[in-house]
Structure 1
């Protein structure tokens, strides 16, 4: 791989983490999320990655009505941006470490089948939706993210039938191995689109050597981006570009630019643009992103 000359910037707008109470800039309501998407696109993001939250509590949600409102609000502005909807919600399992088969499920569990994670994708037919390619010990404690091979095969098949491009979320090398198996089985189409997710406990660490190894494992025609959490977000933008990849920034993964300086999604995108151009690369437009990622032209 060599330095990527034409870089697609994705902005992950809000995520599902407990960040709403940590920064006033994290968007919560559909109106706030849509406005943040438009601002991020104006700052240089070609793609916006969208979760939704309960407007009253700020908690993560899978409600298709909220996704519909966000997407409609973005489109009503006439903003040209690639829509990427998460389909990773519905995989959380919290167990009692001493009695894992009793008192089940514990609070915090939101576990549904692979196809039950897709109703908003089936309704809205976004350009891209995510497919989280394996199970993971998600942070400390007893919270598991569950995405089994059978779930993934069913999900990949349905996404393929819908004509939506899956973004393959990879949290460790075994998940990348399985994503390549999905490609071998004909459940994915070229060009495959990978998001290499680094620094999430306890997946792949934010280590340049690990990123290089994962890039070396990618299928021949793959397009990839990578991100890391917190203060590693901007260094990782450079790491990804230098290895031939694209960039993801946003308040899903990081709230700050410098110690104590809480910023907006647009400000994070602006910094990613600066890093991209400082490396001698250029920022791709939404139409260029569609061409690179094998998406349909803008309607």
Structure 2
């Protein structure tokens, strides 16, 4: 059993959840404040997406990221900033017998350099790297991350001195992460996020989770999460499988049935669960030491 671990808070995500939660952080000020509150509640890492302040929809505007990062860095918190680099790989095909052309209104495809523009400018300590292509949720949306795109992104992130958090949604993604390590595109220790229960990636059953844990490379630091009502049970499971944990409104909107949560409340609940298990919650500097991070800002 793992006796110490860290909490990541994913504060807003990119999903169509703004209409489901009136308190979901949307503006840069709200996103930054949510990250700061989560840090004060015990999160060592804040995982950041940005949204269009007018529509609430997912965005990848560098100016929005800049405002969020500057607000967090100017605050009285030492939280580690983890910026998503997943935006720009969204392909939505036409349905049925006419998959082409893609749905232009919903498709957002960009090259590796454009997808990493905010990372190159702002130099967070961590950014995400989704490790494969998959059918994502319902409909005709495909999350596109080809081997050549991933190799190019890994090479750029490595040159920037940023630690990639490898988002693993299925066993094939884990195999490719290990291949990139073998090719020298990633540096040890690998930072891996096991993303469980996301349709149609790895289901969140215990046997699948254990199979993925068993397949991890020897030198890695790994976290895990699941969605919705499974988020908090996974907190209690994390020490048993040697993982760190992620919570937050990106993956789950509720603290209890019918009771909407804030990010800070989800972190506090995770801390309560872990405290009852006699698990030490690591702060930002301990995580920097663990991951060999260079503090920025």
TM-score range, shorter chain: over 0.9
Counterpart secondary structure, 2:273: helix
CA contact (8 A) 1:88 1:132 kept: yes
Q: How far does the alpha carbon of each residue in 1:110-157 deviate from its partner, in whole angstroms, 9 at most, with x for none?
A: 111222210000000000000000001011211100000000000000
2:156 counterpart of 1:181: no
Indicate how the Cα distance of structure 1 residues 104 and 273 shifts in structure 2: closer, same or farther if over 3 A, else same.
Answer: same
Stretch deviating more after TM superposition (142-151 or 110-119): 110-119
For structure 2, the residue ranges without an aligned partner over 5 or more in a row are none
Counterpart secondary structure, 2:236: helix
Which residue among 28, 31, 38 is the counterpart of 1:30? 28
CA contact (8 A) 1:96 1:106 kept: no
CA contact (8 A) 1:84 1:126 kept: yes
- What is the count of residue pairs matched by the alignment? 297
Q: How far does the alpha carbon of each residue in 1:172-196 deviate from its partner, in whole angstroms, 9 at most, with x for none?
A: 0000000000000000001100000
Q: What is the aligned-residue RMSD (CA, Å)?
A: 1.1
Counterpart secondary structure, 1:74: helix
CA contact (8 A) 2:123 2:296 kept: no
TM-score scaled to structure 1, two decimals?
0.97
Which residue among 275, 280, 286 is the counterpart of 2:278? 280
Q: How far does the alpha carbon of each residue in 1:26-76 deviate from its partner, in whole angstroms, 9 at most, with x for none?
A: 100000001111100000000000000001110100000000000101111
For structure 1, the residue ranges without an aligned partner over 5 or more in a row are none
Indicate how the Cα distance of structure 1 residues 287 and 100 shifts in structure 2: closer, same or farther if over 3 A, else same.
Answer: farther
TM-score scaled to structure 2, two decimals?
0.97
CA contact (8 A) 1:131 1:166 kept: yes
| Aligned twin of 2:13 | 15
| Aligned twin of 1:142 | 140
Counterpart secondary structure, 2:268: helix
CA distance in 1, matches of 2:205, 2:91: 28
Runs of 4+ in 1 over 6 A off after TM superposition: none
Which residue among 180, 196, 202 is the counterpart of 2:200? 202
| Aligned twin of 1:191 | 189
| Aligned twin of 2:210 | 212
CA distance in 1, matches of 2:190, 2:19: 36
Which residue among 209, 220, 223 is the counterpart of 1:222? 220
